Amino acid sequence: MDDELRKLIEFGVSKDEPLARHCTLRVGGPARYFFVARTREDLVRAIRGARKLNIKFVVLGGGTNTLASDQGFDGLVVKIAASEIRLEGSRVYADAGVLSVFAARKAAEAGLSGIEWMATLPGTVGGAVRGNAGAFGSETKDHLESIDILRGDQEMTISIAEAKFGYRDSIFKHSDDIVLGATFKLEIRDKTEIERRMKEFLSKRSDEQPLGAQSAGCIFKNYEPDTRPIEEVEKNFNSEDRPRLREFWAKNRVPAGWLIEKAGMKGFCVGKSCVSDKHGNFSVTTPGATADELVQLISAVKTKVRDQFGIQIQEEVQFIGFR
């Protein structure tokens, strides 16, 4: 099997590669097979090879928003490093492996506005598309024009409507389609203003998030209010917190970090894995942490928020290798 896989992909397949090296939480056991796809063609060839040999595979971007099992992954992990980026008029095409911050900066240099906020994302364009990443009131889908994908053995381009974007969701989370690249349709604006906005977003991120720590980014999705009347929910909150809850409820998003903070879970630890003191929706690790600790931490946070407020928050991280 090893020789067959190497022959199909042609080069660069390694064995027993620790996933902790490639995930920003710095936890995770070995991938049975590991391949870095440095071009779009590499990526397609690797996936076709895995499918032909009936080998389980998972695609990894920047390793953010990802939690890999301590047992690793018994299959092929394909790390996307394809980094082509093209500008044509007001359009920007980026391979799935392009860092979101790089795409935002290249657009800014060309005087193209719309994705300045993406400079605050730690991952790749492919990951942003898959999860419809968002920040500062914007989402990835807002300026997307089309997406290049691998569906089965066929490369094709699909529309935004076909991608079925939702809050931190898309068709790519519910199908075998693989994002190869994306084209953004942006607006021509003053470069100075674009740079100002980008710096403002980055400054806010620095003030609010534990930059430099070992973290996956936000662990949980913000809560989308259900059909219950606000009066039924707010009785679980202190009176001083109810006005803020009503503001969030009216906007159809209650920040998970706020809920976690109000539940008193900031700074809570399981072993060497902790809820950040700076932002409740960030879990951080120190050397020696394990994926099992993080799973326990996530479970404890969900349980506390549910029991205290009657609200069930959901993870937005991708789990790799868990049974």
For 91, phi and psi rounded to 5 degrees? -105, 145
For 70, the 3-state DSSP assignment is coil
Choice among 40, 218, 274, 293 that is catalytic: 218
Structure tokens at 261: 């903070």
The strand ranges marked E within 201-315 are 214-218, 269-270, 273-275, 282-285
Q: Which of 89, 99, 184, 96 is nearest to 146 (CA)?
A: 184
Choice among 26, 32, 130, 168 that is catalytic: 168
| Active-site annotation holds for 168 | yes
Residues 190 and 110: their CA atoms lie apart, in Å, by 10
Q: Are strands 144-151 and 73-80 parallel, antiparallel or unpaired?
A: unpaired
Q: The tokens 């998972």 sit on which residue?
A: 58
Residue 291 near residue 27 (C-beta atoms within 8 A): yes
Residues 297 and 45: their CA atoms lie apart, in Å, by 38
| Active-site annotation holds for 316 | yes
Structure tokens at 67: 């939690």
Structure tokens at 282: 């960030």
| Active-site annotation holds for 269 | no
Which residues are part of the catalytic machinery? 168, 218, 316
